[in-house]
């Protein structure tokens, strides 16, 4: 069924800029498949919501009378509706936008300070794709994290040293819509001497450094935005910078990060496929691939490459996903060795690294003739 054949997606645009409201309304109306209600601030938006509940809210954060973050918190507490943040690139907007993701927003779009109408016309395809995906998302109220209370408690307490020997392998993670909270829950569930992690989160370039900094406050591991030439090592998680492909390769026996500015792959830069394929080549069976919530199919091809290389491949299950698009695409291609709820993924990662280490030892390599190990949940 095409978008034209479905009921219009009702978008509530909340922004104090009349130019932004007019530009977004005109663009979405011209595209078809959308109905739009503009509001100059959250108080006006709440009046509109009493008469018609929107399918998705496009929300500015810096507004008079009530700021966007306060409005977002009220929405998530009373009636969770998918919210996409419309953020400027100036001042502390990056950190504020990442905080909004923690409060339940499902995605971020950027807006310029000048040439707004032209910008939205040129960005129409991306805006339509994000709003369409967000309209199908399942946001959660605060206090109902994606992981169980037990996992959340571990995250708050900061896991102690695991006592396991450091692995030479790498955990590669890919996520899109709804991914920031999922990545946070996984990393905060790993010990401070946990495995080397490299993660791609689809997020605009100005926000990934702020995202990594926010993760560092919740995690026992060291978390930073990846830089070209960074060593991939145990106890550290590297977050792919927005707008740059991130891959891993071997140099003098060590895994190293490479950044590049190539064309988008699977419609994204950074692309999960790029990272996963590089890990399949550089780490093979010593890698673990983890594909999390998000729309589209980025990561499915890379997950297939990882599984062919002998790596364990884990996908987040539908019940704990905000959007089940990316994991579903990989599952349908037979690229996933186990489908797990989010709260089980950290322990599955640690157990999988133990198996990969054992399989790589001379005494067990010859005896290991089976395929990827099922870790529980649905196995494809």
Neighbour tally for 251: CB within 10 Å: 11
Catalytic position from the list 60, 202, 266, 337: 202
Is there a catalytic annotation at residue 317?
no
Helix (H) and strand (E) counts in the chain: 14, 14
What angle, 0 to 180 degrees and rounded to 10, lies between the N-to-C axes of helices 68-78 and 93-102? 10
Catalytic position from the list 41, 298, 317, 343: 298
Looking up tokens 């987040």, which residue turns up?
A: 316
Strand 236-239 relative to strand 56-60: parallel, antiparallel, unpaired? Answer: unpaired
Instruction: State how far the Cα of 112 lies from the Cα of 110, in Å rounded to an integer.
Output: 7
Instruction: State how far the Cα of 33 lies from the Cα of 17, in Å rounded to an integer.
Output: 24
Task: Report helix, strand or coil for 238.
Answer: strand
Q: Are 243 and 267 in contact (CB under 8 A)?
A: no
Looking up tokens 């498949």, which residue turns up?
A: 33
Is there a catalytic annotation at residue 273?
no
Tokens of 87: 């953020």
Looking up tokens 């779009």, which residue turns up?
A: 109
Beta-sheet strands, E only, within 15-168: 34-39, 56-60, 83-87, 107-110
Instruction: State how far the Cα of 185 lies from the Cα of 179, in Å rounded to an integer.
Output: 10
Neighbour tally for 229: CB within 10 Å: 10
**Residue 251's Cα: distance from chain center in Å?**
28
Is there a catalytic annotation at residue 176?
yes
Instruction: State how far the Cα of 281 lies from the Cα of 261, in Å rounded to an integer.
Output: 20
Catalytic position from the list 93, 135, 176, 247: 176
The residues annotated as belonging to the active site are 176, 202, 298
């Amino acid at each position: 069924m095409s978008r034209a054949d479905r009921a219009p997606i009702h978008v509530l645009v909340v922004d104090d800029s009349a130019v932004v409201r007019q530009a977004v309304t005109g663009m979405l109306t011209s595209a078809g498949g959308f109905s739009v209600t503009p509001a100059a601030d959250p108080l006006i938006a709440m009046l509109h919501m009493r008469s018609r509940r929107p399918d998705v809210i496009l929300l500015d954060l810096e507004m008079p009378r009530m700021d966007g973050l306060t409005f977002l918190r009220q929405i998530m507490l009373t009636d969770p509706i998918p919210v996409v943040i419309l953020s400027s690139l100036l001042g502390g907007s990056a950190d504020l936008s990442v905080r909004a993701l923690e409060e339940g927003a499902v995605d971020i779009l950027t807006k310029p300070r000048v040439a707004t109408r032209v910008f939205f016309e040129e960005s129409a395809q991306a805006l339509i794709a994000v709003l369409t995906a967000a309209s199908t998302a399942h946001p959660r109220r605060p206090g109902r994290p994606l992981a169980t209370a037990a996992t959340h408690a571990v995250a708050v307490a900061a896991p102690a040293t695991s006592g396991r020997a450091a692995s030479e392998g790498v955990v590669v993670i890919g996520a899109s819509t709804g991914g920031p909270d999922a990545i946070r829950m996984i990393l905060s569930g790993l010990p401070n001497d946990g495995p080397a992690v490299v993660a791609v989160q689809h997020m605009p370039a100005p926000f990934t450094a702020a995202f990594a900094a926010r993760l560092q406050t919740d995690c026992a591991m060291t978390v930073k935005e990846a830089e070209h030439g960074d060593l991939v090592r145990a106890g550290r998680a590297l977050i792919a910078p927005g707008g740059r492909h991130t891959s891993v390769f071997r140099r003098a026996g060590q895994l190293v990060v490479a950044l590049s500015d190539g064309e988008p792959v699977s419609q994204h830069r950074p692309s999960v496929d790029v990272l996963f394929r590089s890990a399949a080549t550089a780490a093979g069976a010593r890698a673990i691939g983890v594909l999390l919530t998000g729309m589209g199919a980025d990561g499915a091809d890379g997950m297939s490459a990882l599984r062919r290389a002998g790596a364990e491949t884990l996908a987040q299950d539908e019940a704990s996903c905000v959007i089940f698009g990316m994991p579903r695409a990989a599952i349908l291609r037979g690229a996933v060795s186990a489908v797990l709820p989010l709260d089980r993924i950290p322990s599955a990662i640690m157990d999988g690294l133990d198996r990969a280490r054992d399989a790589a030892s001379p005494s067990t390599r010859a005896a290991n003739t089976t395929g990827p190990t099922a870790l529980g949940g649905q196995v494809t």
